């Protein structure tokens, strides 16, 4: 159902325009022209990544490109010949972090005139390109997120003999709002496939992999800069994604996360095909789209889940996806989650507010009731599923009563984790037409109140795991210094404060951290060789943000109990 309460901004008349065009001659920006290394010389590089998983995945591609043309990784930003900053712009604070480093970067450049700095990511928006040099004076070159595949080319690092994928034509896709182009994205969806085929994706982990399935965002959230920085939604071809998943499976990676700003709207922009004729989903909320005959996320999950390993079980034991929008949480998707053994029992489903007027003003296009109904449906289909969400406090016009409604909804829906932030006005977004009238001090107070409330809900949810044996995929060794800080996370009650995990499981044991299928962070003690393995852990302590347990078996299990489900508390 579409909701637009009185006073709400009309949904953005977002329109996609696509044109095929030949593009990307080997442009070398004047500031970096002299960067071409002399024969035999290769610059070292450092990629500084801010923001979300999509940026992390994009950074893997940029690092892969640079490695492919012979550059080497520098161990720190200070030692690099080339610094690539992959920015986030979701809140002012995220951009301020990079602006705040301009002085330091200028110092480094003064000391080493050969140093070059490239700024990419969501901080580079076409509509503001003319002002970028003034805001970021230490930067030599700016690339929009969709221009990142041209990084090495634009730096002049690609020779005439370069692989064809780096010198390619593009398809332009433009987001139009009220007849005005507000963002453009020239990124050619197949460029990822080419990069993979040519070994130009440098994955940062051998345990978990990112797999982008849809770029950009077509939604209408009035506060959000993402549609302006990342352009319209562009789904990757179904078969390209499956091929990438097969490649990942062949490497023995334990966990795969499908990525997109709205991963569950995957496929609506792809052509209908006979083989997807059984797909007839209709959107239950938001802008109506013809989804018939097009692949969707449910189809992808089922196909990836059915890539089988040597024993017939899913080759990739853990399959995740992030982020989902409540518009597109279809019954087909819920059924796929319930029926595919590899799909983890966790869903990130941002609610943003617990008040319908606020949701209308935010352009979210669903009601609290719609969200409640979808959540009940998924909790019924996947008992014990862990649910996390995003909330914005202090958005334009939010009254105390509306904020209290958000708190009540949180009490009622009992999320496992809430990522909350105070509203931060972003340039060019429709919400700038509304008054940012909640004073900063009130935003701060509401944020603290909400976080405090969630801390007790999170603790209660985590306590449901006490005494249970769970499968933990061990991801990392926690450095000694961090181990002490992590204990604070666990200690809701001083009696739970425990001695360091170093040595706790015998001589040579170290502090380790990993995640359950329900995405719970678990601290444990064990041999460093457990990193990358799925082990069975008995949960002994629960804090609001993490669990702590003891390894009872160095083999996986009881990862899934029953038809595709892990042991979990019921809720
Ligand atoms: N696509 C996801 C969704 O809407 O469901 C979220 C992606 S967005 C990059 C991540 C989160 O940042 C949002 O869910 C929202 O809570 C927060 N966010 C976005 N714009 C914001 C703003 N202007 N001020 C504060 N928080 C913001
Ligand atoms: Fe931003 Fe909304 Fe798109 Fe999420 S769905 S990225 S909040 S515009
Ligand atoms: Fe930030 Fe862009 Fe991600 S704004 S959160 S890096 S999509």
Per-domain residue ranges of the chain:
1-184, 205-340, 345-463, 466-558
Q: Which of 199-213, 376-390, 472-486 comes out lowest in average pLDDT?
A: 472-486
Is residue 224 very low, low, confident or very high in pLDDT (cuts 50, 70, 90)? very high
Identify the nearest ligand to the CA of 175 by its number: 2
| Average pLDDT estimate for 288-309 | 91
More confident: 352 or 43: 352
Question: What pLDDT, on a 0 to 100 scale, did the predictor assign at position 46?
Answer: 97
Is residue 40 very low, low, confident or very high in pLDDT (cuts 50, 70, 90)? low
Among 174, 167, 305, 161, which residue's Cα sits nearest to residue 228?
174
Is residue 223 very low, low, confident or very high in pLDDT (cuts 50, 70, 90)? very high
Ligand 3 pocket, residue 122 CB under 6 Å: yes
Residue holding tokens 């986030």? 88
Q: List C-alpha distances in Å: 563 to 341, 342, 468, 567.
A: 7, 11, 19, 11
The predicted-structure confidence for 138-164, as pLDDT tens digits, reads as follows 999 999 998 898 898 888 887 644 443
- Residue 430 tokens read as 């429709």
Among 345, 389, 349, 327, which residue's Cα sits nearest to residue 571?
345
The predicted-structure confidence for 499-511, as pLDDT tens digits, reads as follows 568 888 888 899 8
Q: Which of 89, 93, 95 should be mutated for ligand 3, with most atoms under 8 A from CB?
A: 89
- Residue 299 tokens read as 């189809």
Question: What pLDDT, on a 0 to 100 scale, did the predictor assign at position 415?
Answer: 98
Question: What pLDDT, on a 0 to 100 scale, did the predictor assign at position 35?
Answer: 55
pLDDT at 316 over 60: yes
pLDDT at 104 over 60: yes
DSSP label at residue 47: E
| Average pLDDT estimate for 401-418 | 98
Does the domain made of 466-558 have the CATH classification 1.10.645.10? no
Q: In terms of CATH architecture, what is 1-184?
A: 3-Layer(aba) Sandwich (3.40)
Fold type of domain 345-463: Transcription Regulator spoIIAA (3.30.750)
Question: What pLDDT, on a 0 to 100 scale, did the predictor assign at position 172?
Answer: 47
The predicted-structure confidence for 451-476, as pLDDT tens digits, reads as follows 999 999 999 999 999 999 999 999 99
Question: What pLDDT, on a 0 to 100 scale, did the predictor assign at position 58?
Answer: 96
More confident: 434 or 32: 434
Q: Which of 364, 374, 390, 391 should be mutated for ligand 1, with most atoms under 8 A from CB?
A: 390
**Atom nearest to 145 CA in ligand 3:** 2
| Average pLDDT estimate for 384-391 | 98
Query: Residue whose CA is closest, atom 5 of ligand 2?
Result: 219
Average pLDDT, the chain: 85
Give residue 222 CA to ligand 3 midpoint distance, Å.
16
Classify 318 as helix, strand or coil.
strand
Q: Are 43 and 78 in contact (CB under 8 A)?
A: no
More confident: 44 or 16: 44
Q: Are 235 and 268 in contact (CB under 8 A)?
A: yes
**Atom nearest to 225 CA in ligand 1:** 20
Helix, strand, coil % in the chain, rounded to nearest 5: 35, 20, 45
Question: What pLDDT, on a 0 to 100 scale, did the predictor assign at position 482?
Answer: 66
Ligand 2 pocket, residue 262 CB under 6 Å: yes
Q: Which of 94-108, 281-295, 513-527 comes out lowest in average pLDDT?
A: 281-295
pLDDT at 186 over 60: no
pLDDT at 207 over 50: yes
Is residue 383 very low, low, confident or very high in pLDDT (cuts 50, 70, 90)? very high
In the chain, pLDDT over 70 holds for what percent of residues?
80
Ligand 1 pocket, residue 424 CB under 6 Å: yes
Question: Edge to edge, what strands does the sheet with 72-73 contain?
Answer: 72-73, 44-49, 82-87, 116-121, 141-142
Ligand 3 pocket, residue 89 CB under 6 Å: yes
Residue holding tokens 């499956």? 242
Is residue 177 very low, low, confident or very high in pLDDT (cuts 50, 70, 90)? very low
Q: List C-alpha distances in Å: 302 to 104, 242, 260, 335.
A: 49, 11, 18, 10
Neighbour count for residue 108 (Cβ, 10 Å) = 18
**Atom nearest to 352 CA in ligand 2:** 7
| Average pLDDT estimate for 106-134 | 90
State the angle between helix axes of 297-305 and 331-339 in degrees (0 to 180), rounded to the nearest 10: 10
The residues, any chain, with a CB within 8 Å of residue 233's CB and separated by 6 or more, are 16, 214, 215, 216, 217, 218, 260, 261, 262, 265, 268, 269
As to burial, measured by CB atoms within 10 angstroms (0-12 exposed, 13-18 middle, 19+ buried), residue 27 is: exposed
Among 542, 411, 446, which residue's Cα sits nearest to residue 489?
542
CA distance 449 to 236: 41
CA distance 73 to 56: 16
Q: Going by DSSP bridges, is the β-strand pair 386-393/346-348 parallel, antiparallel, or unpaired? A: parallel
The continuous run of DSSP H or E covering 527 comes out as none
The class that CATH gives domain 205-340 is: alpha beta
Give residue 214 CA to ligand 1 midpoint distance, Å.
17
Compute and round to an integer the Cα radius of gyration of the chain: 24
- Residue 425 tokens read as 């006005």
Q: For the chain, give me the number of helices (H) and strands (E)? A: 15, 21
CA distance 566 to 521: 16
CA distance 514 to 506: 19
CA distance 190 to 240: 8
In the chain, pLDDT over 90 holds for what percent of residues?
65
CA distance 389 to 353: 10
More confident: 120 or 31: 120
Ligand 1 pocket, residue 223 CB under 6 Å: yes
Classify 55 as helix, strand or coil.
helix
Same topology, domains 205-340 and 345-463? Answer is: yes
CA distance 309 to 329: 29
DSSP label at residue 264: G
| Average pLDDT estimate for 506-518 | 93
């Amino acid at each position: 159902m579409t909701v637009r309460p009185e006073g709400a901004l009309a949904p953005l008349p977002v329109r996609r325009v696509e044109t095929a065009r030949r593009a990307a001659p080997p442009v070398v920006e004047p500031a970096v022209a002299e960067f071409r290394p002399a024969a035999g010389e290769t610059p070292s590089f450092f990629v500084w990544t801010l923001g979300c998983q999509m940026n992390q995945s994009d950074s893997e591609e940029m690092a892969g490109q640079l490695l492919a043309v012979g550059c080497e990784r520098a161990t720190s930003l200070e030692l690099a010949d080339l610094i690539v900053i992959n920015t986030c712009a979701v809140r002012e604070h995220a951009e301020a972090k990079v602006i705040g480093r301009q002085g330091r970067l200028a110092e480094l450049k003064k000391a080493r005139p050969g140093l070059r700095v490239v700024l990419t990511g969501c901080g580079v928006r076409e509509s503001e390109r003319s002002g970028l040099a003034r805001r970021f004076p230490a930067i030599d070159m700016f690339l929009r997120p969709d221009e990142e595949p041209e990084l090495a080319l634009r730096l002049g690092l690609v020779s005439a003999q370069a692989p064809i994928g780096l010198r390619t034509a593009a398809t332009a896709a433009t987001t139009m709002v009220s007849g005005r182009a507000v963002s453009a994205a020239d990124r050619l969806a197949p460029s990822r496939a080419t990069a993979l085929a040519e070994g130009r994706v440098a994955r940062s982990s051998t345990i978990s992999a990112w797999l982008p399935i849809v770029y950009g965002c077509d939604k209408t959230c009035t506060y959000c800069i993402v549609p302006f920085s990342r352009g319209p939604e562009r789904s990757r071809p179904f078969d390209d994604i499956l091929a990438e998943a097969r490649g990942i499976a062949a490497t023995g990676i334990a966990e795969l996360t499908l990525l997109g700003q709205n991963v569950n709207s995957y496929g609506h922009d792809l052509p209908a095909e006979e083989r997807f004729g059984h797909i007839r989903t209709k959107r239950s909320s938001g802008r109506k789209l013809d989804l018939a005959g097009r692949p969707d996320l449910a189809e992808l999950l089922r196909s990836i889940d059915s890539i089988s390993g040597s024993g017939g079980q899913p080759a990739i034991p853990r399959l995740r996806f992030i982020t989902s929008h409540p518009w597109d949480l279809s019954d087909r998707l819920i059924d796929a989650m319930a029926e595919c053994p590899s799909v983890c029992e966790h869903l990130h489903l941002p609610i943003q507010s617990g008040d319908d007027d606020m949701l209308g003003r935010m352009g979210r296009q669903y009601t609290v009731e719609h969200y409640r109904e979808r959540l009940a449906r998924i909790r019924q289909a996947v008992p014990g599923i862990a649910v996390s969400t995003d909330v914005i406090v202090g958005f334009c016009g939010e009254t105390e009563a509306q904020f209290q409604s958000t708190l009540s909804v949180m009490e009622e829906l009992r999320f496992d984790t809430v990522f909350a932030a105070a509203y931060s006005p972003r340039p060019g977004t429709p919400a700038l037409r509304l008054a940012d009238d909640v004073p900063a001090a009130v935003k701060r107070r509401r944020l603290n109140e909400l976080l405090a409330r969630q801390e007790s809900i999170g603790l209660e949810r985590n306590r449901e795991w006490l005494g249970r044996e769970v499968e933990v995929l061990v991801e990392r060794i926690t450095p000694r210094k961090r181990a002490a800080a992590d204990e604070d996370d666990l200690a809701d009650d001083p009696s739970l404060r425990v001695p360091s995990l170093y040595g706790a499981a015998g001589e040579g044991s170290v502090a380790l951290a990993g995640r359950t299928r329900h995405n719970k962070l678990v601290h444990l003690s064990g041999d460093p060789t457990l990193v990358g393995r799925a082990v069975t852990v008995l949960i002994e302590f629960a804090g609001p943000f993490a669990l702590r347990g003891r390894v009872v078996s160095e083999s996986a299990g009881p990862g899934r109990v029953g038809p595709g489900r892990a042991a979990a508390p019921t809720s």
